[in-house]
């Protein structure tokens, strides 16, 4: 059967976050991956304009740099369910793990564990189309930091090589962020050109240990909200959004 899956990449400029809308255009059912609260209305409007039913909102991990749009989207589009990995320790309507699938119409994405940036990171793979939504585990010519939220450079390296970079070279990688205006990459490109992940495991661990990155400026408000998928404990400035 030929896949009729629709893909739209959306962008939130403050956190440089990509949100992905996937839909079975025959069944008119959709999912959103990694939404941001500031652009939840935009995303809900697009879903409605396209005549879609939003079945699930998926998060690749508990984000530290922005508040997820999950809770807001559940209010705007009743019937939508939240999804996050069981290993994240967060609350959601559906907790998933390795080998689970999330279905929308005749389409589905499978759950691949890619912890290391955080201990609960997963990649969502649409195998039929060759699309992998990698969150912060694999960025375009980079990867997420590994110095908080149970992060581990060794785990990130091992899981990325075993579970993402072992996919066919033609697999398109869609990250949760990009800060240089790039939109996607491929497994083949990253295996050849990623300046961190092409190093040996030992070299990679040394690189990650020496980054000395600043503390994420929104982490103190983002983590409490995202651990419940944006449903409770929002900052005062956002409580009226729900």
DSSP structure string for the chain? ----EEEEEEEETTTTEEEEEEEETTTTEEEEES-BGGGHHHHHHHHHHTT-EEEEEE-SS--SSS-BSHHHHHHHSTT-EEEEEGGGT---SEEE-TT-EEEETTEEEEEEE-TTSSTT-EEEEETTTTEEEEETTSBTTB----SSTT--HHHHHHHHHHHTTTS-TTPEEEESB-SSS---EEHHHHHHH-TTTTS-HHHHHHHHHT--PPPPTTHHHHHHHHTTTTSS---GGGGGG-
Predicted confidence (pLDDT) per residue in 121-176, tens digit:
999 999 999 999 999 999 999 999 999 889 999 999 999 999 999 999 999 999 99
Q: Mean per-residue pLDDT for 55-73?
A: 93
Scan for tokens 């009743």, then name that residue.
78
Token pair for 137: 């585990």
The CB density around residue 45, as the number of other CB atoms within 10 Å, is 11
What pLDDT was estimated at residue 208?
97
**Do the beta carbons of residue 211 and residue 145 sit within 8 Å?**
yes
Q: Is the pLDDT of residue 234 over 70?
A: no
Would you say the C-alpha torsion 180, 223, 20, 195 has a positive or negative sign?
A: positive
CATH of the domain at 134: 3.60.15.10
Which residues, other chains included, contact 101 with Cβ-Cβ below 8 Å and sequence gap of 6+?
A: 108, 109, 110, 111
% of the chain at pLDDT higher than 90: 83
The residue range of the domain holding 24 is 5-241
Predicted confidence (pLDDT) per residue in 175-224, tens digit:
999 999 999 999 999 999 999 999 999 999 999 999 988 877 777 889 88
Which residues, other chains included, contact 220 with Cβ-Cβ below 8 Å and sequence gap of 6+?
A: none
What pLDDT was estimated at residue 242?
46
Predicted confidence (pLDDT) per residue in 24-55, tens digit:
999 999 999 999 999 999 999 999 999 999 99
- Looking at the structure of the chain, the number of domains it has is 1
What pLDDT was estimated at residue 64?
81
What pLDDT was estimated at residue 2?
52
What pLDDT was estimated at residue 206?
98
Q: Is the pLDDT of residue 229 over 80?
A: no
Q: Is the pLDDT of residue 233 over 80?
A: no
Q: Is the pLDDT of residue 239 over 60?
A: no
Q: Is the pLDDT of residue 241 over 50?
A: no
């Amino acid at each position: 059967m030929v896949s009729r899956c629709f893909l739209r990449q959306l962008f939130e400029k403050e956190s440089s976050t990509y949100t992905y809308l996937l839909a079975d255009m025959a069944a008119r059912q959709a999912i959103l991956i990694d939404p941001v609260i500031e652009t939840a209305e935009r995303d809900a409007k697009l879903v409605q304009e396209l005549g879609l039913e939003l079945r699930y909102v998926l998060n690749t991990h508990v984000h530290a740099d922005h508040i997820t749009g999950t809770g807001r989207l559940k209010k705007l589009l009743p019937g939508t369910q939240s999804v996050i990995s069981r290993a994240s320790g967060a609350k959601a309507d559906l907790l998933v793990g390795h080998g689970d699938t999330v279905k929308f119409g005749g389409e589905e994405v499978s759950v691949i564990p890619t912890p290391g940036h955080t201990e609960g990171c997963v990649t969502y793979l649409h195998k039929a189309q060759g699309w992998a939504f990698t969150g912060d585990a694999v960025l375009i010519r980079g990867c997420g930091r590994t110095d908080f939220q149970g992060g581990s450079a060794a785990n990130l390296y091992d899981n990325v090589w075993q579970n993402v970079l072992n996919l066919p070279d033609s697999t398109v990688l869609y990250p949760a962020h990009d800060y240089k205006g790039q939109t996607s990459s491929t497994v083949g490109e990253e295996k050849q050109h990623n300046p961190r992940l092409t190093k040996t495991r030992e070299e990679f661990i040394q690189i990650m240990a020496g980054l000395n990155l600043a503390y994420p400026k929104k982490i103190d408000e983002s983590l409490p909200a995202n651990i419940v998928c944006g449903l409770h404990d929002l900052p005062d400035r956002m409580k009226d959004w729900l």
